[in-house]
Amino acid sequence: MSAVLSVRGLAKSYGELEALREVSFDLQAGEVIAVVGPNGAGKTTLLSIVAAVQQPSAGSVSRGAREVGWAPQQPALYSKLSVAENLELFARLEKLADPHAAVRRMLEQTGLTERAREPVGHLSGGNRQRVNVALGLIADPPVLVLDEPSASLDPAQRERLWEFIGSLTRTGTAVIFSTHHLGEAQHHADRLLVLADGRLLLDGPPGALLAAAGEAPGEDLETALVRYLAEHAAVGAPAL
């Protein structure tokens, strides 16, 4: 199966600080990858480079900005504009041929049609995040990048968000997201990328992390990550 996204040898330096070091992976159509690791591991840096928000110091990403949807942790929404007005603004910024059709499609796809005229500032956190994801999808990209998509959501809002993301992947959209909620990585991700100090330590399904940490299948992934990082982060480890 050919990859819809290929990342090769990504590195990013800020002066003497190496935020990313030789990270490579592929992403398939309909696949969900979770990027996990401690604070400062390079998760947001990696995702922002994949989304072409910033440029790498070295390496390559096979798709450009218009082919990758980007939903940052802090939504770039205009609170005084309505949901539909936010979507139309971004559709026009993307220079879509039919902005109105794109807005209608995203309102229907995200279940926000009834809130189309409501100011974004009046929405719940869960609905604001749905608008944020809709902006990333407005140009119908094959790849969607989400930075901590559920960080500010309650459990019910997280569940609705993941139901929506699941509907996208079933139609072929590939998703890569970062998270500190290891439970949602365990339940929703096909693969994990474990980062520490900018290095890719492990690339494999959640079960691979459990096995590498000496945990039984179905055990807690957060415990496994803490144990794995304690054993491998300081000295480095090959990707699995």
The sign of the CA dihedral 33, 130, 61, 36 is negative
1-63+142-240 fold: Rossmann fold (3.40.50)
Who contacts 144 (Cβ-Cβ below 8 Å, separation ≥6)?
68, 69, 71, 133, 136, 137, 165, 168, 173, 174, 175, 176
Q: Per-residue pLDDT tens for 116-143? A: 999 999 998 888 888 999 999 999 999 9
d(CA 225, CA 240): 14
d(CA 23, CA 43): 11
In the chain, domain spans: 1-63+142-240, 77-141
**In Å, how far are 7, 8, 51, 67, 120 from 63, measured between CA atoms?**
9, 12, 9, 6, 31
Average pLDDT over residues 64-89: 90
At position 91, the amino acid (one-letter code) is A
Q: Which helix (H) or strand (E) holds 239?
A: none
Q: Where are the beta strands (DSSP E) in the chain?
A: 5-14, 17-27, 32-36, 58-61, 68-71, 143-147, 174-178, 191-196, 199-204
pLDDT value, residue 232? 81
pLDDT value, residue 233? 66
217 vs 99, which has greater pLDDT?
99
Residue 144 has which token pair? 């969607």
Question: At residue 239, does pLDDT exceed 60?
Answer: no
Average pLDDT over residues 66-89: 91
pLDDT value, residue 1? 62
Give the HSE-up count for residue 4: Cα atoms under 13 Å, Cβ half-sphere: 20
Q: Per-residue pLDDT tens for 7-64? A: 999 999 999 999 999 999 999 999 999 999 999 999 999 999 999 999 999 999 998 8
What phi and psi values does residue 170 have, to the nearest 5 degrees? -65, -20
Average pLDDT over residues 94-113: 92
Mean pLDDT of the residues in the chain: 91
